[in-house]
Amino acid sequence: MASTIDLEIAQKTPLALIEAIAAKLGIPEGALFRYGHTKAKIDLNWLKNQPPRKNAKLILVTAISPTAAGEGKTTTTIGLGDALTRIGKKTVIALREPSLGPCFGIKGGATGGGYAQVGPMEDINLHFTGDFHAITAAHNLLAALLDNHMHWGNALGVDVRKINLRRAMDMNDRSLRQTIVGLGGNGVVHEDGFDITVASEVMAIFCLANDATDLKARLDKMVVAQKTKGGVVTAADLKATGAMAALLKDALNPNLVQSLEGTPALIHGGPFANIAHGCNSVIATKAALQLGDYVVTEAGFGADLGAEKFLNIKCRQAGLKPDAAVVVATIRALKLHGGVSKKDLGTENMDAVKRGLGNLQRHVENMKAFGLPVVVAINHFSSDTAAENKVIEDACAVMNVPVHLCKHWGEGGRGAASLAETVVKLAESGTSAFKSLYEDASSLSDKIKTIAQKIYRAKDVVIEEKTAKKLARFEKDGYGKLSVCIAKTQYSFSADPALMGAPVDFTFPIRDVRLSAGAGFVVALAGDIMTMPGLPREPAAEKIGVGADGKIFGLF
């Protein structure tokens, strides 16, 4: 989580004109759609004609399970990108766009921190280039067309009891989780609800599509409801795809911005990793690989969520092969996993670090299980001690994994120079032997069990009877080869946020599943996870405003 200091640094650090950033990547001014002076979209038509760079390296940044202490995964991604630039590598950073929900809720902004930030920070964290609004509009247009179809006679035979599609809004609003629409004679009455936009299938499709043609093909496949006489109703059946694609046309062009040190950054798409697949767009990642020699990207939350989905869903669908993985941790977070209260994190406690190391070790083991060379990055805080750092260094030596103390928050790219050198060594060693965790041919329930047991270390998986029947129906309808996207708490390997550290021998409960045929996966909801978050008791929105000088305050 960032602070007011991050906002002050961002507002005081001048950014280069976006044309100058584009020139670093060989992008001509004619291929830019400018949104002010410091952000632009890159013309997809221009990108289509650019060949991939030979031997471009893809680096995945992930982290331990998140805590209230913060881990700094985005900050480390940006710091590493700047450090690679400093040592002479043509580098592109690839990140997700922040959701408005967390900005006004509890998390605050998501553009890095200190001197390892991307900008313009306020724009990126708020409306940016309007991509999320376009995605929300496209999703809700489909919902409106479905309701309108039923109102005018329901020629497709939609079963109003079995409507899959929910509406979307990019804001935390728990009161919209369950709704009833059509009251007062305004259409067919049926149960409905809202998901936050970042958990919508349109967001997932947007982020997994290779181009506009693929986007439309995926939108066509969206299953919105069941028919009363059997079979499914799709977006194609409702003749919705053309209008949805028109709303998404401009948004599909990836966004170009920069770090505070001038490293180019593509920020595009933004699914959450706890309730969605948690990766930036395939279009942006592939564009970055066309334009740079090194691409540094991140996947949301801990490696059990974002990284697992990056590797099993995004890489599988897009044909990507990462060259190395960085696992980010902080001493403060490890202490929390070791049982220390938040108020005592500033006190040296080697025993607590040792107790919390199980979480880091499991994430490292999981990344190795995918065949990736791994390096650990310790995101430095001023309260850290040399003795505490030594505990982590010793543990990483046992795991045969390099570890680096990184000070990019206070020093920018210079503070992550040693990490960059090791990343280059790993990426160019050719030791990556990336492999997915499961085969397409495995059953949906087996895929869920594989992730729960091999990544989370669950003893058993319990799938509710009604949920098992839905999985069986998905397979009968031809969707058995899809990937699975498990939605669960980000705070634990288990479905219980209170089980921190590295729990074992727990039961992993699956309460429901949702078909995202266009995205190419089935969402499995575990425990009490909600696809529409709520605001905290004291929302961050209460402290956000605009000063007399026109500058935004309180965003962090």
Catalytic residues: 73, 75, 96, 107, 273, 301, 381, 409
The residues with which 63 forms a beta bridge, in sequence order, are: 328
Residue 360 is which amino acid? L
**DSSP output for 64-104:** SPP-TT---HHHHHHHHHHHHHHTT--EEEEEPPPPHHHHH
Distance of alpha carbon 431 from alpha carbon 172, whole angstroms: 43
Distance of alpha carbon 270 from alpha carbon 253, whole angstroms: 14
Q: Where are the alpha helices (DSSP H) in 196-238?
A: 201-208, 212-221
Distance of alpha carbon 508 from alpha carbon 531, whole angstroms: 18
Closest C-alpha among 247, 281, 276 to residue 266: 281
- Cα–Cα distance list, 317 to 205, 208, 371, 490 (Å): 11, 7, 18, 24
User: First CA to last CA across the chain, in angstroms?
Assistant: 8
**DSSP output for 453-481:** HHTS--SEEEE-HHHHHHHHHHHHTT-TT
Inter-residue contact 8 to 122 (CB < 8 Å): no
Burial 73-93 (b: 16+ CB within 10 A, else e): bbbbbbbbbbbbbbeebbbbb
Q: Where are the alpha helices (DSSP H) in 349-416?
A: 350-369, 386-399, 408-411
Distance of alpha carbon 242 from alpha carbon 100, whole angstroms: 27
Cα-atom radius of gyration of the chain, to the nearest Å? 23
